[in-house]
Structure 1
Amino acid sequence: MTDAAPRLAAVAETLLGAPLPVRIRAWDASEAGPPGGPVLVLARRRALRRILWRPGELGLARAWVAGDLTVEGDLYALLDRVSGLLWERGPANPADAGAPAPAGPAALLRDPARRAALRELAALAGPWPPPAPPPEEAVRRGGPRHSRGRDRKAVSHHYDVGNDFYAHVLGPSMVYSCAYWSPGATLEQAQHDKLDLVCRKLGLEPGMRVLDVGCGWGALALHAARSYGVRVTGVTISAEQAGHARKRVAEEGLADRVEIRVQDYRDVGDGPYDAISSIGMAEHVGAARYRAYARALYALLRPGGRLLNHQIARRPEPDERAHRADPFIDAYVFPDGELSPLGTTVGELERAGFEVRDVEALREHYALTLRAWVARLEEHWEEAAALTSPGRARVWLLYMAASALGFEHNRLGVNQVLAVRPEDGGPSRMPLRTRTWGGGPASPA
């Protein structure tokens, strides 16, 4: 058989009701679709069985992770062209909610031409049953959602894949959150500037006690202690992160000012702290537990103390009850991770008692950060794949590239929310012109 690609193109155009958006190359070396640009390569027939078994994003992702489906050329350009298949939840702008959506399974089966196309696709896919999911997929999760035990498993799935792997992707700073870019900055400079921005927003001064919730590999704790003379307690439930962070603390001679704990934020009981940072951690909390999270941080903060909550947000939907978790992200990247609209986050912080004083949107900054991480992963591909597995490396490549486009196209946002625990009588002790954020180091130490 040397005509698989033309047959697939005809099937795809029938099912999509539109021309094939990208060129495809099948396992028999045949090609079809518009010339020029990136090529979607179906290296093995079983890619079709994965897609048939789980139509949409998860089936495509499983084929990608297993290496059954690859891309030749610009991955970003290809993802842009097939974004309707990868982002299933409708238009980015709620005002466009009336726009046509891809036909669901029931509609496909009602249409005779599409039923025939599905039969043709099944014939091309080869014998069943469908292949097992690639091993990088999250194992079955036990226990109530966002219980301590289940959260530990979810965090371990994402973060405990090897510190050396993350070093290849993130660079020497080992900062795994949105950087703060200026023209011509390197990734390291942009991450330093983000850490310093957080410290200045928190108003850090020598001798303060700071709690870093979800401290990761310790970058913020180290920067705050080194550059601002504060004492920092960093908590994470990733053992590998904590081990790396403690090593960095010891190497820099900061053990008297930085303590790293393997501890759930719900178990921290040695407040009050003068300031609390939560950078890229709240996405793991869960919508049902977010108010409890906000109340826990409020209780740990002294009156007049500041909280800096740095968190990814999704766009609100016309009917929030219809929101569904991203199947690829949930299965392969952040099990049980949940994104909420910015307004929901601000509202929950206020209900917990905080006074929200500033919100800064960094959406474009995260797109730049993700593209920098993708470039590093591609540059160090052989080493990164050897440190984990080729499948795991493909997970991270797809997740980061698709996320970069999500931020660029305003499907995702990321925001720094600065909040204060009010003092009795109402003073916030905030500067009148908050966006100056005081002084602080201006260049990497």
Structure 2
Amino acid sequence: MSKLIDNTHNRYRENIERLLIGTDIVFNGDRPWDIRVYNAELYQRILTQGSLGLGEAYMDEWWDCHQLDELFNKICQAQLENKVIVDPQTFINRVLGCLNNHQSRQRAPEHIKWHYDIGNDLYQAMLDKRLTYSCGYWPKAKNLDEAQEHKFDLICRKLNLQPGQKILDIGCGWGSFMKFAVEHYRVSCVGVTLSAEQVALGKLLCKDLPIDIRLADYRELDETFDHVISIGMFEHVGYKNYAEYMKVANRCLKDGGLFLLHTIGSSKSRISVDAWMGKYIFPGSMLPSLKQISKAAEGQFVIEDVHNFGADYDKTLMAWFANFADNWQMIIANYDHRFYLMWKYYLLSCAGAFRARDNQLWQLVLAKTGVPGGYTSVR
């Protein structure tokens, strides 16, 4: 019986090794990105369960590697996703993505609570001093704090913010952009989020400033603003709601104002999220493509500018992981070892995907009927 089991393991291993040809990845090699196998059933689990099995096996400590980020850089560069038979969970997710609206008003609050209400202590340990949970802008930044402030200033300059203007922030998080804009550009802001934890801490951080943070769905908004921004929230909207999202942004934007959309994106149009990411990190999330964004904006906006700085998300995620690992002992009482492995896998696998240019980060500037004379790009 043991010989039969060994033969089965070897067959699965040989099949995976054939897929890895040309990737520079080997099992039990001595490079930092090589996979060290601790359970021989890993090979079958990967081939039958795909990305979900790979991620769960890591959390179960069936395998490890010294440099997860570089492993995933090589996996994404080799486009192994296109070479592996679709696992059952991914197939189910795609079918359900067609049938169901996972980001409806009824479902969205639970999805946001799953990730963003884990605990503010986690995000305070991981993020910059302003609590900014989106990609930093690194061309001239020396550290994470500077990268996030440079990103906020870039947004303010792209919108040409003027004192006294009123800004809407859809998916405002803990209010970090609004606080920066108020302090540096003397505007007032309204922000909405579905995270009760973000609202509670955000109100405290923005106390005594002209900032109104509301626990509300973006679809409830029906008032006008000089400019509208959305930073790292569109990933939670879902393709069935992209058009409605654009209608809301249009409804809330004054004539002559600008809408800045900052979002992670995919080079392919998708209707579901990676199986592991959807189960453990961002349920109901979905990365839009430029095709999907432009289709949703059609009839609502003129797209004036598209700025891709996805490579900067690699640096941002690596900085977040460094903070998370360095401060783990400060928050360990509220989490467990399996959570540590899950969060490490999330941050470093994403860093690898951005390093491989598999994922993108776009800032789009949109105007209702276009900017008279044309929009001058700001970098």
TM-score (norm 2): 0.85
Q: Give the corresponding residue for 1:57.
A: 51
Of 14, 24, 29 in structure 2, the residue corresponding to residue 34 of structure 1 is 29
Matches within 5 A, 1:278-317: 278-316=230-268
CA contact under 8 A between 1:214 and 1:234: conserved in structure 2?
A: yes
Map Cα deviations across residues 294-322 of structure 1 (whole Å, 9 max, x no partner). 001101111111100001110126xx6xx
CA contact under 8 A between 2:29 and 2:36: conserved in structure 1?
A: no
Deviation at 1:386, TM superposition (A): 3.3
CA 1:88–1:237 in 2, change beyond 3 Å: closer, same or farther? farther
CA 1:267–1:48 in 2, change beyond 3 Å: closer, same or farther? same
Structure 1 position 333 matched with structure 2 position 326: no
Deviation at 1:44, TM superposition (A): 5.8
Percent of residue pairs bearing the same amino acid type: 28
Deviation at 1:172, TM superposition (A): 1.3
Amino acid at match of 1:13: E
Structure 2: gaps of 5 or more residues: 89-99
Structure 1: gaps of 5 or more residues: 25-32, 91-100, 107-142, 438-445
For the residues of structure 1 that align with 2:74 and 2:296, how far apart are their CA atoms? 37
Of 71, 90, 102 in structure 2, the residue corresponding to residue 78 of structure 1 is 71
Amino acid at match of 1:61: G
Q: Give the corresponding residue for 1:12.
A: 13
Structure 1 position 373 matched with structure 2 position 374: no
Q: Give the corresponding residue for 1:275.
A: 227
Deviation at 1:88, TM superposition (A): 5.4
For the residues of structure 1 that align with 2:327 and 2:63, how far apart are their CA atoms? 18
Deviates more, 1:390-399 or 1:326-335: 390-399
For the residues of structure 1 that align with 2:372 and 2:298, how far apart are their CA atoms? 18
The number of residue pairs the alignment matches comes to 363
CA contact under 8 A between 1:279 and 1:309: conserved in structure 2?
A: yes
Q: Give the corresponding residue for 1:190.
A: 147
Matches within 5 A, 1:342-381: 342-351=290-299, 353-381=300-328
Amino acid at match of 1:59: G
CA 1:5–1:71 in 2, change beyond 3 Å: closer, same or farther? farther
CA contact under 8 A between 2:9 and 2:43: conserved in structure 1?
A: no
CA contact under 8 A between 1:16 and 1:102: conserved in structure 2?
A: no
Map Cα deviations across residues 194-240 of structure 1 (whole Å, 9 max, x no partner). 01111111221111111100000110110111111111001100000
Q: Give the corresponding residue for 2:202.
A: 245
TM-score (norm 1): 0.74
Deviation at 1:192, TM superposition (A): 0.2
Map Cα deviations across residues 362-388 of structure 1 (whole Å, 9 max, x no partner). 111111111111222222233344333
Amino acid at match of 1:152: P
Give 3-state SS (helix, strand or coil) of 1:304's partner: strand
Amino acid at match of 1:325: V
Map Cα deviations across residues 382-441 of structure 1 (whole Å, 9 max, x no partner). 33443333323322221221111211212111100001123xxx7x357x662348xxxx
For the residues of structure 2 that align with 1:80 and 1:8, how far apart are their CA atoms? 26
Q: Give the corresponding residue for 1:227.
A: 184
Of 394, 397, 409 in structure 1, the residue corresponding to residue 341 of structure 2 is 394
CA contact under 8 A between 2:48 and 2:87: conserved in structure 1?
A: no
Give 3-state SS (helix, strand or coil) of 1:370's partner: helix
Deviates more, 1:231-240 or 1:10-19: 10-19
- Higher relative contact order (Cα pairs below 8 Å, separated by 6+ residues): 2
Amino acid at match of 2:287: L
Deviation at 1:16, TM superposition (A): 3.8
For the residues of structure 1 that align with 2:72 and 2:29, how far apart are their CA atoms? 15
Matches within 5 A, 1:426-437: 428=371, 434-436=376-378
For the residues of structure 2 that align with 1:61 and 1:208, how far apart are their CA atoms? 46
CA 1:10–1:19 in 2, change beyond 3 Å: closer, same or farther? farther
Give 3-state SS (helix, strand or coil) of 2:259's partner: strand
Of 83, 100, 110 in structure 2, the residue corresponding to residue 153 of structure 1 is 110
For the residues of structure 2 that align with 1:291 and 1:179, how far apart are their CA atoms? 27
CA 1:38–1:10 in 2, change beyond 3 Å: closer, same or farther? farther
Structure 1 position 207 matched with structure 2 position 164: yes
CA 1:5–1:405 in 2, change beyond 3 Å: closer, same or farther? farther
CA 1:69–1:299 in 2, change beyond 3 Å: closer, same or farther? same
Give 3-state SS (helix, strand or coil) of 1:17's partner: helix
Amino acid at match of 1:411: D
Amino acid at match of 2:352: L
Question: Which has the greater radius of gyration?
Answer: 1
Deviation at 1:51, TM superposition (A): 2.0
CA contact under 8 A between 2:224 and 2:252: conserved in structure 1?
A: yes
CA contact under 8 A between 1:357 and 1:418: conserved in structure 2?
A: yes
For the residues of structure 2 that align with 1:184 and 1:83, how far apart are their CA atoms? 27
